[in-house]
Structure 1
Amino acid sequence: MKMKVYALSLVIPLLLLGAVLGEKLPSKQTHSKVDEKLKLLNKVSLKTIQTEYGDVIDCVEIYKQTAFDHPSLKNHTLQMKPSFYPATKSKNWSSLRGMSQSWWKSGSCPMGTIPIRRILRQELLNGTSPENYGRKNPYIVNPNRTTVTQETNKTHTFNFLDKNGTSNFLNGTSNNLYVNRSTAMLITEGYSYIGAKGEINVWNPYIEKTNEYSTAQIWLVSGSREGMESVEAGWMVNPTLYGDTKTRFFIYWTADGSQTTGCFDLTCTGFVQTNHEVALGSPIEPVSSEFGPQYEIAIFIFMDVNTSNWWLLLNHKEVGYWPGELFVLLRGSAKVVQFGGEVYSETIGKEGVKHTSTAMGSGGDARDMYTGAAYIHHVRIIDYSLTEKYPEWVMEYMDEPYCYSAYNYVQYIKEPEFYFGGHGSHWNPYCQ
């Protein structure tokens, strides 16, 4: 009898523990979807590189990359080089403090292949679902909280198109704060844009929770904010996507405001890579330091007017392109260009919940400026004049000016310098 009681006393806790764990363990259906996704993303490689920081880089034949699994790209002809280059006046990259990708220490991929960061099973299981892995959450409006006022925007407007200093793109459909994300940026609109570029200094911001991320980037956008088509590139810290808090080079695209399309890097079909030296999602180093050296990446995105493909250049080298077939509005041009940062957190925009302390940029305020804040220098756009130039109209924009700031410095210098950043709620009672 005692033996039965003892056995039962063991079984009950195990059953209870199993029930608790059962809610967290993925189902057989989830594992099946994960297997299917891994098969799609991790192609057969000609060479495999094990990096010293834990990533595996697969050298995949260029014609067998994931992009060509997209339904719209079945008959797509690979474009190895742009057929068109806008007229540029860029300074020599050798004069900048540039970055390198950490995986270069461990090997290289041969010509005719592209380096692809291998996606691990656990990374897919850590996401919300295999279907949404690598995708931003859609924009969700919180009707109970408003964004920066028009009066605030007026204070930070420089020759902007609308006399009252407001943005049709940001405020045309809603003047409410978006849930889950916060931006601080320089925005220009009013023309048809076919390119944008800038030099972004690289930092490693603090991330409070593993399901949060922080970016510094350039966006080219068409459509409303909630349903926008966009191509984006810059650097990011994203523990959920990459499994660590390293600063990594990233790209992103969507054709419907991240409702059902698009993703970071090569975690879905779409972006066509042509470069055998750049691994999307790979760590970049070194990073900038306060009062110390500043290290930069040069981002240039432009549309090949002959093919409608959006080309991406990193440090003046072609990485690849987003095919025009992915889009509707962006097949003609972008209507908005944004330069700056974005923080994602489930606490942003929610009443009664403490705001995240995840940092943007360096974590310093935009007015800390050079060596203190994140920046994008040599901001340029390209319209149908086909020549790069500083935007005619720009505006600073902040979703939450008490949490993350933007500052376009224009005094006593040859051209404006744009700074952005902030540390969220960390030691900041005004960020709520």
Structure 2
Amino acid sequence: IIQSDGYKTTGCYNFRCAGFLQTNNNIVIGGSISPISVLNGNQFEISVFVWKVGPKTWKLVAKLGPDDTLVGYWPVEIFTTLADYATQVQWGGEITNAQTFGRHTTTQMGSGRFQDEGFRKSSYFRHLEIVDHNNSLQSTQNLYTRGEQPKLYAVNNRFSDDWGSYFFYGGPRLSHLHREPP
């Protein structure tokens, strides 16, 4: 979970800043989950839902198996513009690049495989939907993709009847096989 003001002046991950109130300790925010997918082997998914419930609360629900689990919520008091509704949603991968010793990080994104390797190799998000003002799920349209280091990390988006709106993303990291990105 990242909480920020659009990366302008504040931001933190998981519980490093106040706001999100966890109500279930079976899922650890920032922790690992299992089982995990295996390259070219069994693939496992989680479903994540974030939506506004009533006038006071944004909830986070995860589905790791057959049941939905309420993980926690953000009280409306911590928001300014999100108190009523969201104007955009973002899905994706992110790495932290502190430029240690003036070099790009060696952190991989997603599974560490590029998006064009597809299912059983690349990381992905699928069935991307938003909740409208009537509290109904709607398929996403006109997805915008962005990659800041395309030689190291990439993304593509697609649509199919089985997966709805989806995208593969990821990349291996900076290594001796790559030259320093600009």
Among residues 31, 38, 60, which one is paired with 1:312 in the alignment? Answer: 60
CA distance in 2, matches of 1:278, 1:413: 28
Does structure 1 retain, via aligned residues, the 8 Å contact 2:104–2:180?
no
- Name the residue aligned to 1:338: 90
Output aligned runs, 1:216-235, within 5 Å.
none
What letter corresponds to residue 271 of structure 1 in structure 2? F
Structure 2 spans left out of the alignment, 5+ residues: none
Secondary structure at the counterpart of residue 91 of structure 2:
strand
- Name the residue aligned to 2:133: 384
User: Highest Rg: 1 or 2?
Assistant: 1
Query: Cα offset for 1:305?
Result: 3.2
Identity of counterpart residues, as a percentage?
29
- Name the residue aligned to 1:429: 179
- Name the residue aligned to 2:78: 326
What letter corresponds to residue 419 of structure 1 in structure 2? F
Does structure 1 retain, via aligned residues, the 8 Å contact 2:126–2:163?
no
Q: Residues 257 and 298 (structure 1 numbering): CA distance in 2 closer, same or farther, change over 3 Å?
A: same
Does structure 2 retain, via aligned residues, the 8 Å contact 1:403–1:430?
no
- Name the residue aligned to 2:46: 297
Q: Residues 405 and 331 (structure 1 numbering): CA distance in 2 closer, same or farther, change over 3 Å?
A: same
Output aligned runs, 1:161-180, within 5 Å.
none
Q: Residues 372 and 275 (structure 1 numbering): CA distance in 2 closer, same or farther, change over 3 Å?
A: same
CA distance in 1, matches of 2:144, 2:137: 19
Q: Residues 326 and 402 (structure 1 numbering): CA distance in 2 closer, same or farther, change over 3 Å?
A: same
Spell out, residue by residue over 1:153-188, the C-alpha distance to the aligned partner (whole angstroms, 9 max, x if none).
Answer: xxxxxxxxxxxxxxxxxxxxxxxxxxxxxxxxxxxx
Query: Cα offset for 1:417?
Result: 2.8
Q: TM-score, normalised by structure 1?
A: 0.38
Q: Residues 293 and 362 (structure 1 numbering): CA distance in 2 closer, same or farther, change over 3 Å?
A: same
Q: Residues 395 and 356 (structure 1 numbering): CA distance in 2 closer, same or farther, change over 3 Å?
A: same
What letter corresponds to residue 42 of structure 2 in structure 1? P
Which structure dedicates a bigger proportion of its chain to helix? 1
Secondary structure at the counterpart of residue 367 of structure 1:
helix
Q: Residues 318 and 404 (structure 1 numbering): CA distance in 2 closer, same or farther, change over 3 Å?
A: same
CA distance in 1, matches of 2:160, 2:116: 13
Q: Residues 430 and 269 (structure 1 numbering): CA distance in 2 closer, same or farther, change over 3 Å?
A: closer
Output aligned runs, 1:23-422, within 5 Å.
251-255=1-5, 257=7, 259-260=9-10, 263-307=12-56, 309-315=57-63, 316-347=68-99, 353-410=102-159, 415-422=164-171
What letter corresponds to residue 147 of structure 2 in structure 1? M
Q: TM-score, normalised by structure 2?
A: 0.84
Does structure 2 retain, via aligned residues, the 8 Å contact 1:255–1:326?
no
What letter corresponds to residue 410 of structure 1 in structure 2? F
Structure 1 spans left out of the alignment, 5+ residues: 1-250
Query: Cα offset for 1:264?
Result: 2.7
CA distance in 2, matches of 1:406, 1:292: 22
CA distance in 1, matches of 2:84, 2:23: 23
If asked which structure has higher relative contact order (CA below 8 Å, sep 6+), I would say 1
Spell out, residue by residue over 1:348-400, the C-alpha distance to the aligned partner (whole angstroms, 9 max, x if none).
Answer: 9xxx9432231000111011110110001111111214211211221221122
- Range 274-283 or range 324-333, more displaced: 274-283
Spell out, residue by residue over 1:64-102, the C-alpha distance to the aligned partner (whole angstroms, 9 max, x if none).
Answer: xxxxxxxxxxxxxxxxxxxxxxxxxxxxxxxxxxxxxxx
Secondary structure at the counterpart of residue 317 of structure 1:
strand
